[in-house]
Amino acid sequence: MPKIGILALQGAVREHAQALADLGADPLDVRVPGDLAAVDALIIPGGESTTISMLLDSAGLREAIAERLGDGLPVFGTCAGMILLATEVVDGRPDQRSFGAIDIGVRRNAFGRQVDSFETDLAITGLVGEPFPAVFIRAPVVERAGPDVEILATVDDEPVLCRQGPVLVAAFHPELSGDLRLHQLFLGGI
Ligand code: GLN
């Protein structure tokens, strides 16, 4: 049973833990560097990327996570988690920092500018069956995706689910819709 860490500093932690438990994986809250040693993969949840960035430093977790990411740790970032894994962030706070683990440029709070939150059905490459119900909450827009980035789903031609090697990122919240297929896809790649 793979042990999946969930960065538990702020945001939608419980919902990811429930999805993982429902799939038979073993979720572990990551709050201090020592927690990382035991995990086979990591989820960085949605929340507020500015706050999570600040808490990464006060918890002493930034270096420890960067090191595991450098060694190819599988990671799934959702919404704020996508921002924290991106190479470039526009409209962030000047002191916010990201891991640069996937070659994308994102703009915070810019997806579907006309509404803060919405739900839509997505066709996702590699998922069979029904479209995926995707919940967007003050979501980042992907303004640039590098040549090695696979785009697995789009909304109005904007990428909303991307993968580069062991790094999977979603602009939306798959843990909120009760559909476990994206967590399953992530676990399948570990
Ligand atoms: N707007 C948030 C941010 O910039 C992300 C929102 C979310 O994770 N639902 O971090």
Q: How far apart are alpha carbons 64 and 40 in whole angstroms?
A: 14
pLDDT mean across residues, the chain:
97
Q: How far apart are alpha carbons 74 and 190 in whole angstroms?
A: 6
How much is the pLDDT for 81? 98
CATH of the domain at 8: 3.40.50.880
Share of the chain above pLDDT 70, in %: 100
Residue 140 token pair: 């980042």
pTM over 0.95: yes
Domain that holds residue 69: 3-188
Active site residue 150: no
pLDDT average per 10 residues of sequence, the chain (190 residues): 96 97 97 96 98 98 98 98 98 97 98 91 95 98 98 97 98 97 96
Verify whether ligand 1 is closer than 6 Å to residue 48 (CB atom): yes
- What number of residues does the chain have? 190
| Ligand 1: centre distance to CA 137 (Å) | 7
Residue 34 token pair: 């020592």
DSSP string, 38-100: T-SEEEE-SS-HHHHHHHHHHTT-HHHHHHHHHTT--EEEETHHHHHHEEEEES--TT-----
- Spatial CB neighbours of 41, under 8 Å, sequence gap ≥ 6: 2, 4, 5, 73, 74, 75, 76, 186, 187, 190
Mutate to test the pocket of ligand 1, among 13, 48, 97 (most ligand atoms within 8 A of CB): 48
pLDDT tens by residue, 46-64 = 999 999 999 999 999 999 9
pLDDT tens by residue, 86-112 = 999 999 999 999 999 999 999 999 998
Residue 147 token pair: 């040549």
| Ligand 1: centre distance to CA 45 (Å) | 10
Largest CA distance in the chain: 43
Question: How many domains is the chain built from?
Answer: 1
| Ligand 1: centre distance to CA 58 (Å) | 20
